[in-house]
Chain A
Amino acid sequence: MSSQPSVPYFSPLVLGLGLVLLGVTIAAFVGGPPLVLIFLAACSLCLTITLVWNSLAKMEAGQTLEFEDALDLAAPTATEEQKLAVLRALKDLDYELTVGKISKEDFEISSAEYRAQARLLIAAQDESMKTQIKSAELRVHQHLRALDTPDAPPVARELTAPESAAQEPTTSEAP
């Protein structure tokens, strides 16, 4: 269970909807369907103006891209797609064996083929990511070291501390 409260996010929406509902009810009692319709038209026009205003406001410079957004922008590789398809096929094969759609012999043959394919694809994926992982590790390392200055925030110092501690004996042992 997450402790993140979702109430604040929904509150304006719920409040707005509640007000519109209240307005619709009053309009229905006072003027019938025509008043309800014109009230809804007015509300939607106000909503349009608010949304356009916010849309323009969001265009201002300085809006930074969040980490999740950037991560999501990276396209899955063809190898990843193939790997997922093979793993899904393996799962299906299991199901088909259990419901008796394929014989044990067919299952063994197909399963072996798929497993071999999956192994190759996983290996290829690991291989292709090796340099990227190394590069990412190096960058993180450099970034954390850069933060290890007297005016760096305490969190950054905490993060870099174990590494510095681990490196100390090595430096002291050096001639």
Chain B
Amino acid sequence: MGVSLPGFGTSIVFSILVLAAYTFSVAVVAGRGRPHLLASARLGAFATTAVIFCGVMLLSYGFFTHDFRIRYISQHSDRGMSPWYLLAALWGGQDGSLLWWTFLLGGYTAGCVAWMRGKYRALQPYVIATLMVIICFFAILMMFAANPFEQNLAGSPGEGTQMNPLLQNYWMLIHPPMLYMGFVGCSVPFSFAVAALVTGRLGNEWIVAVRKWMLLAFLFLSIGNVLGMIWAYEELGWGGFWAWDPVENAACLPWFTAAAYVHSTIIQERRNMFRVWNVVLICITFLLTIFGTFLTRSGLIASVHSFAKSDIGPFFSWFLVLVAVTAIALIVWRLPLLRGKAQIESVASREGMFVINNWALLGGMTFILGATTSPLITKALMNQEVTVGPPFYNKWMAPIGLLIFMLMGLAPLFGWKKTSGSSLKAAFTFPLSTLVLVTITHAVLGKGLGYPQVVATTTVEPGMAAQVYASVASFFPGITVSLAGFNIAVIVQEFVRGTRARMSSTRKKGDAEGPVLALVRLVQKSRRRYGGYVVHLGIVGMFLGFVGTAWQVEDEVNLNPGESKVVAGYNLVYQGTRMCPGNPRCSAEEQAAKGRRMLFADVDVMRGGELLTTLHPAKFIHQNPPQTTTEVGLLRGLRDDLYLVLAVADPETKRATFTVHVNPFVGWIWIGLLVLMLGCGVSLWPEVTTKRANVWTYVRAGVAATAGILLTFTFAASLAQPFSGSFQPTGRAPLHQNAPLHQSFER
């Protein structure tokens, strides 16, 4: 009797559970007094990763051979999908995304186990055991609730159902994997925390081990969230990038605690303080990643991103409870060992600022968590669901965000322990002068340029307090710009001071370094510190992008072919509509499109009498699944983006209604992300020791460096590709010069 792919795939899922359980058992025995078994546990962990990889390859094979006997494949792909989107379909649905999650966790496990070779021998067994428990959970989930290899009960259909058109987008190829990498990455620090708690080795050993893993997770969480913003901006067609949707919120929650941890761990290393706090932060971060996954999949809270309501919610609830109870029990058990003796001597110190920053980040996270789960909370308490919308989030998150932004600039100006008045004066002079200068310049020039310092905010809420708050909120755009200037000044000052100090010390030693060499060596020597400042610079860029929404221009325009309208300096000349395929003006690619009809409205964009580009906002009518999507016309710029949405078009008269958005500084969010990635890269760059170097060490280092550079270029190119308008991953989405990415969403 032959073995079918669904049957074989299911047996592979079973094997994942068996191998993970075996590795868990061996690892625990190794930790409980038989350390020579560690080698077996390590090999077991690698074997588990290999079998997960086998499962992913089998499912991909099923997609590429259109094996519609497998339910998941028939529900998320058809024969017409391009290879790129067949690959994306792997994580485009619930069952596949769980296998993908397990695969990434397997990758992290293999990487972590390989990295621990010859290190952390006492912690290793429990790190492996914890990772295996998480893998076991996902294997159980797949086996009993969401098997990606489950067979279609009614037999194999002749044709599958295409993946949701909304997900057939360039960013969906990289956004979910990046976000998952961030989510899954938090498992490694959590495993180290559990290992430290179980073994009682709660000193700095595990903190040092976890440092880079958490930074890696933070990096991927940042990338994932920002790529999600880009996808929402281009795909959802409402003119913004963040709608405070529950699933978006769930994705950013661990980012807050990870950011808090990245800062508070420095205090433990430097001052041997905050041991309990750091363990708690890591556990919360991991719990939030599980909670986020639970929220996306349980269907408890309505969201545009949610997978269909499924049976896996209770599994996540129980796992969440198990993890929380275990973590609390371990922390309580080890509390006597965790308590430190050192205390903060002054608020006017680096650690004092870090503590406030931690509370602000945690406050932001708690607020978003509370607001996101408000329907559940109010249902439980008052028997009625209260859902809060974006204005509520914006109202409260704006001051919290500004506080974090301010502290980001303040903290580097303080020294450890306590700082005297004279030192503070010296540290604050340049940044404060810059702040004053930026504030005055903004006040003088802002209004004329269309970016006034004060943007009147109104509120419909009754009461004096609401009115006062609205008045205060009017100043937020100006405050943000001023703080951006302050932050940039602090970062520049830190680099200049460090470089000068290095130049001076090397001159004294008789080996004088020039400014460039001194700067490079300075960064080389303190990568974490200066990489962190580069990350801060990226955050400044993002804040500038966020504040741009205050000056957004929105207009609705009705035009007949040949008519024009000027919006925020852009002259929009409407050329008419064309239905593709069929119209002779359609490109060859548009003519070849299958499975949908596309109604394009061509608009020439001019400024100062010069033609900038022609935009093609459109409506796509998909056949399988039957769905209409709105495609955005987008002209990007550093100063602003012109964002054109086709609201209605009459194919007979060709009269069309457009929604026009001019979004200032949105591009700075994406630039900020690139800078943040650079900063994290600097911080994560490994230390190279030449003590035991031989020819193979240099070969390996050379290969690793080349691979790293190539990967960076590939990633940068992948980010830049859609902007060039030349990316054509699918036979479905015709792209031509200046055409948008074919994103849409009917809200």
What is the interface of chain A, defined by CB distance below 8 A to chain B?
1-7, 10, 33-34, 37-38, 40-41, 44-45, 47-48, 51-52, 54-56, 58-59, 63-65, 68-70, 72-73, 75-76, 78, 80-82, 84-85, 88-89, 92-93, 95-96, 98-103, 105-106, 110
Contact = CB atoms under 8 A, between A and B. Distances in A.
Contacts of A64: 36
A34 B201 contact: no
A37 B418 contact: no
B57 A38 contact: yes
B54 A6 contact: no
A52 B23 CA distance: 10
B51 A45 contact: yes
B521 interface: no
Chain A CB within 10 A, most for which of B23, B44, B426, B494? B44
B5 to A, nearest CB: 10
B26 A59 contact: yes
Given A48-B51, A88-B270, A75 B201 contact: yes
A102 B692 contact: no
B39 A63 contact: yes
B696 A6 contact: yes
A41 B58 contact: yes
Contact of B205 (A54, A76, A92, A106): A76
B83 to A, nearest CB: 6
A2 B118 CA distance: 18
A40 B696 CA distance: 28
A37 B43 CA distance: 24
Nearest to A62: B36
Contacts of B624: none
Contacts of B54: 41, 44-45, 48
A41 B420 CA distance: 64
A110 B694 contact: no
Interface residues of B, number: 67
Given A41-B61, A89-B416, A96-B416, 5 more contacts: A65-B36, A80-B203, A88-B269, A101-B419, A101-B427
21 contacts: A3-B694, A4-B692, A6-B694, A6-B697, A10-B696, A37-B61, A40-B57, A48-B50, A51-B43, A51-B46, A58-B40, A59-B40, A64-B36, A72-B121, A76-B203, A82-B272, A85-B269, A88-B269, A100-B426, A101-B427, A106-B418
Interface stretch (B308-316, B460-468, B497-505): B497-505
A33 B415 CA distance: 57
Nearest to A69: B121
B43 A63 contact: no
Contacts of B61: 34, 37-38, 41
Contact of A34 (B23, B65, B271): B65
A99 B53 contact: no
B422 interface: yes
Contacts of B417: 110
Interface in B380-419: 413-419
Contacts of B36: 63-65
A172 to B, nearest CB: 47
Contact of B47 (A10, A34, A48, A106): A48
Contacts of B498: 99
Contacts of A102: 415, 419-420, 423
Given A34-B65, A89-B271, A47 B50 contact: yes
